[in-house]
Amino acid sequence: MRYQLRDEDGAYRSVAYLMLAAVPVVFVTGIVLPDEHPIGWVVAISLTVAVMAAGGALARWRPRRLPRTFWLVVPFVAVTLIAGLNVASHDASAGSQLFYLWPVIYTANFLSHRNTAVVLVMVSGGHAAVAFAALGLARGLMDWISLTVALTLTAVVIASLRNRNERLRAVLSSQALADPLTGVANRRSFDSSLVRAVARDEPLALMTVDIDHFKSINDTWGHGVGDQALQAVASCLRTVAARADDVVARLGGDEFAVLMHADRMGARRAADEVRSALAAVDGLACGAPGLSIGIALFPDHAGTAEELRAASDAALYEAKEAGRGRTAMAHPPSPRRTISAAG
């Protein structure tokens, strides 16, 4: 995360608005208001204004054309530019030092804490260069300390708020992708995981699971016991999701899915292990519920995510039709269907 740019769109807008707004300010304060207009100074300010206008326009309307490093180095360039203008004009006024707020806020909000610390050191050094020369030792020291402390506290507050916001976003993201009752992935999360897994073109097994006669459990024992049964099934399914990228999901109601890296024998063994783990669960008033399981393999039974889901659903339907409480394996695509699809 050290060199990662957080919230790229926000960074683009921040740079664009700052540079475009600074163009008239720099022009007025650098050329219009001063009584003297040395040629070198006018040329330097004019070039600065032109570069800022071009950079602001690109950042606003064509941000993707700028290299990624631009967004990482722009606060350091801004500090250097502000310090250089202040030193050249011998301006230690509060107004001139307020320009330092932008690179500090930008870095604290969009870059890492280490980058923020470097910017603060640069700001402190840049202000010291003009404060001691323009205000003398005593006044310059007080002014330098005041600015350094104020901008450091500003950076700390912004970084703290950013960290809190990121934690809240992480919690909300987790809640949006998880089933609130069982804690496993929800359908939205599972669909995305399935597409990504198939795109990696690795052997996969998709196990679709239904709780047998779940409506009877709710009708007989109540929805509280039904919820306990759902939680128990989810917990048992987790035990067979051995790899970090295996996914257990509740697709809705009493239907679950497990996406795992396994071959035919591994998938069948996982189904048996789930049944054994569920049979060993104590405390369910309804007893261990039965499970109907359909298994499909990629690429044996399907070539796409949708086909894999359909093959697993068909196998689950076959398990139910055979009497429930069973595991059924999907069938390879028929040669006729394969030839038709190829044509």
- Residues of the chain by 3-state class (helix, strand, coil), percent to 5: 65, 10, 25
Phi, psi of 249 (to 5 degrees): -140, 150
pLDDT at 77 over 70: yes
User: Higher pLDDT residue, 124 or 6?
Assistant: 124
> From start to end of 140-200, where are the E strands?
none
Task: Decide: pTM greater than 0.95.
Answer: no
Three-state DSSP class for 304?
A: coil
According to DSSP, the residues that pair with 293 across neighbouring strands are: 209, 327
Q: Which helix (H) or strand (E) holds 260?
A: strand 255-260
Q: Catalytic residue positions? A: 254
Residue 181 tokens, joined: 């009752």
Angle, vertex CA 170, rays to CA 169 and CA 173, nearest 5: 85
For the cut 60, the answer to whether the pLDDT of residue 225 exceeds it is yes
**Would you tell me how many other CB atoms lie within 10 Å of the CB of residue 50?**
11
Mind listing the pLDDT tens digit for each residue in 256-267? 999 999 999 999
Q: Which domains does the chain have, with CATH numbers?
A: 8-176 (no CATH), 187-342 (3.30.70.270)
- Local confidence band at 3 (pLDDT 50, 70, 90 cut-offs): low
Cβ neighbourhood burial of 86 (10 Å; 0-12, 13-18, 19+):
buried
CA distance 182 to 122: 51
